[in-house]
Structure 1
Amino acid sequence: MNLERISSLRRKLSEKDLDGILVSRPENQYYVSGFDGEGFLVVTSERALLFTDFRYIEQAKKESPDFEVVELEAAVSPFKKCADELKSLGLRNLAFEGHYLTVKSYEELKSFLDGIEVIKTDGLIEELRTRKDEVELEMIRKSQEITDKAFEHILNYIRPGVTESDLALEIEYFIKKNGADGLAFHTIVASGPRSSLPHGRPTSRKIQPGDFITLDFGAKFNHYCSDMTRTVVLGKPNKDQLEIYRIVLEAQKRALEYIKSGVLGKDVDKVARDFIEEKGFGRNFGHGLGHGVGLEIHEAPRLSQKGENPLLPGMVVTVEPGIYIENFGGVRIEDLVIIVEDGCTNLTKSPKDLICL
């Protein structure tokens, strides 16, 4: 698997007339090498090097057999060690991740690479990561299975007097106890009027009858994330709650029916957005329809008004329209799907009809 990814990266470098790249972003390092300790990679047409210190040498050799492992020394700059290894290769240039490497590290790197041009790149490896292979898809499936089970589990805990923080803690406990590495992101639990906050962190607010309760959470399994949102109501919903919920659910349904390989992210967003606007709530849907999910919880591609790139088979994205009304509450419904040629495969199995507890 690592050899295939190294080859794909080398093709990218060749297309952009780059002789090599320094990979320091942890997610990209793991994607290319399988190593999840501290360090960095250098990949050229001839060599694949993994630089790390004494603490991770044994781990690096086991996790990254396709890389030459170079031990860093505490008294020597890691970038000097890197430069020493590259001197014999006759590189014209070396790319680095401009969106991740600090200015201080860039200046230090440049000072040791005398005669080698240091070139900023953005999103080069992230672009490779957008289309998941079968191994990655299986990890995401398992991650979402845990997340669906967590939703089923937490429904039994929602009752008057329980706090948002109580629910978030129980979700985290269940996810970790059921095989996940941990949470994919900080769990969102927002109840009552607070459910109008798209990213409302859980508080000590106690759940009350009549509340909308928005639950947005995900697991991480073998480094890969999942993401889902459901909004439930405690007790009997009122007319306005039912109306908003039905609009969001229909908007999501239309987007899921439209999505397939070849369509632009912005066009999928438009399908849901136009329907919500038609119903008079356009100003209450202020975020994009969805985002890519993989090693990171938010990655390319984007399903938003700025989503100019076509969706392709193997991409994994969320579809999550919402309506948020200040001092009233809000609804978001989010599924995780795999793009296929003629549509999508929905990984989220939790029910979407309004659950009244």
Structure 2
Amino acid sequence: MVKKREDIENLRAVAIILVVLGHSVILYSDKWALYPTTVSAPPLNGLKDIINLIQMPLFFSISGFCLVYSLNGKRTFRGFLKNKLRRVVVPFLIIGALWLYPLRMLADYPAYQDVNPVNVLVKYIYFGYDNGHLWFLPTLFLMLVLTDLIARVPLFESKPSLFDLSLVAIALLTVAIPVSWPYLGQFGQNYMWFVVGVLFHRHEKWIREVCTGGMKIVLVCAAGIGCLITGCGIESMLLGKILSLICVLVAYLVVPNHSTATLRKISRNSMGIYLFHSPLIYLSFNFWPNISPWLMVLINFVGFGAVAYGMTELVRKLGLGIVIGE
């Protein structure tokens, strides 16, 4: 049985907090214009840019890190596939139909108006043309299955370094996939972070030996400066990728090894919080778009964050864990 890593629990808790906060302030991002507002909040715009630098790279890397446990467990591919379908795909299907769609319709979501419900469900939500935060789940499923299949190549058992190189090569090649392609484009943009998690786990001892003392200080300072640059609106695709990599590496290096009851609960409920929270914010964006930004953050981050946490606990107690991948 794999012993739980409290540092990884902490990272997962931090990652979901960042995601919830990022969704809560997205109305004020100059890169997002689905709902109009007369209110400007430059600090929240900068905060959203900083969160974008970290949130999904960290989330995907944690998934890659945890996959290594399964790869070491020698589970059959059939068993692995069944497990991931239950934990990733089934929640995607249920939440898309019974949570995302109804809430977006209630919030007068522009793209879904005057469109046949079946078309919305199949094309927009399930095929990924406009399904909000749910894009993460099919994309993650593709990463998990592909990586597991690659790990099963007989040659890589005797030459594990070739396995590492193959993952890096695929990550570099798939960056060229057009972003407009549902799921595949998102796979190409994010598989590198998944691979970072896999490689960090496989070579953790060596990485920690190298990144000590002065090197760790340099990385922490670089991450801080990178966040400052990003928050000020200075953008570069290559620079952004480098800064994201540094931030993820720093997160693994500085996260405490001991968790708390609160962080453990947030970590345990991270999947449910992710699934339930985002659709709720469309309600506040639609009905109260021009309220104080700080009140908006309070409603979305604290209020709806608590609702998402409570719903996760509720579905588990009702024996409906399948909704949240359990």
Using structure 2 for the length normalisation, give the TM-score.
0.27
Select the structure of larger CA radius of gyration.
Answer: 1
More helix by share: 2
